[in-house]
């Protein structure tokens, strides 16, 4: 579809399949699909992964895959709707994340509280507070170290979103990109952060 043809259309009222096709030429149109499906995707993913943050990540990953694979979608018969195709991608993403989450939980060693457990947990108030502060500082230093290893665009968007508290829209306006592009950049940045953190032997809980 050419840009001239798109200009004359009221895109918001078009079927999903047409909006997807238009978004491949005009990426800002993809925001319409995000608005249509984001809430429903979050509910569906949440029912699978059982965690809000994981559901959000699964939803973001789904939108990324839909956009990147948009050219592959073809409606050849009645059942081949965008909705069915999109939900299949979502469910696969959510199941994959849930599987990884279960492996991580099983790999984590639980706190072993035996006969000496009571003594081990009987910290004085001052010592406990100092220890918590040390852990927090250590994690902050680690996060800073990981951010330094990322491309500037990734570290910048993570800082704006997590430390600056800025929304996707605010980041988009600052960087001169669409809201969809900001969401995609943040998703890729989070993925790169997790990979870099794992390579350094630790996975912070902030991302």
pLDDT tens digits for range 152-166: 888 888 888 877 788
pLDDT value at 203 more than 70: no
* Spatial separation of the C-alpha atoms in residues 83 and 17, rounded to whole Å: 9
* Spatial separation of the C-alpha atoms in residues 143 and 140, rounded to whole Å: 5
Q: Which residues contact 106 (CB under 8 A, 6 or more apart)?
A: none
Backbone angles phi, psi at 171, to 5 degrees: -65, -40
Give the pLDDT of residue 106: 58
SS3 123: coil
pLDDT band at 130 (very low <50, low <70, confident <90, very high): very low
Indicate where the chain has its CATH 1.10.1740.10 domain(s).
Answer: 10-104
Indicate where the chain has its CATH 1.10.10.10 domain(s).
Answer: 146-207
Structure tokens at 170: 């605010």
pLDDT value at 44 more than 50: yes
- Give domain 10-104's CATH architecture: Orthogonal Bundle (1.10)
pTM above 0.85, yes or no: no
Give the pLDDT of residue 110: 42
* Spatial separation of the C-alpha atoms in residues 172 and 109, rounded to whole Å: 41
146-207: in CATH 1.10.10.10: yes
């Amino acid at each position: 579809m050419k840009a001239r043809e798109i200009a004359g259309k009221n895109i918001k009222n078009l079927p999903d399949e047409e909006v997807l096709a238009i978004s491949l030429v005009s990426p800002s149109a993809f925001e319409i699909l995000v608005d249509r499906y984001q809430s429903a995707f979050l509910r569906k993913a949440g029912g699978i992964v059982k965690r809000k943050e994981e559901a959000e990540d699964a939803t973001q990953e789904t939108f990324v895959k839909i956009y990147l694979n948009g050219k592959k979608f073809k409606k050849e018969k009645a059942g081949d709707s965008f909705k069915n195709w999109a939900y299949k991608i979502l469910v696969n993403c959510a199941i994959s994340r849930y599987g990884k989450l279960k492996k991580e939980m099983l790999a984590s060693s639980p706190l072993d509280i035996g006969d000496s457990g009571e003594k081990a947990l009987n910290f004085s108030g001052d010592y406990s507070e100092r220890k918590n502060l040390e852990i927090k500082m250590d994690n902050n230093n680690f996060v800073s170290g990981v951010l330094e290893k990322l491309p500037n665009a990734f570290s910048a968007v993570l800082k704006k979103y997590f430390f600056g508290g800025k929304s996707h829209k605010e980041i988009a306006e600052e960087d001169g990109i669409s809201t969809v592009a900001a969401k995609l950049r943040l998703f890729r940045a989070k993925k790169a952060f997790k990979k870099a953190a794992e390579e350094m032997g630790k996975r912070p809980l902030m991302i």
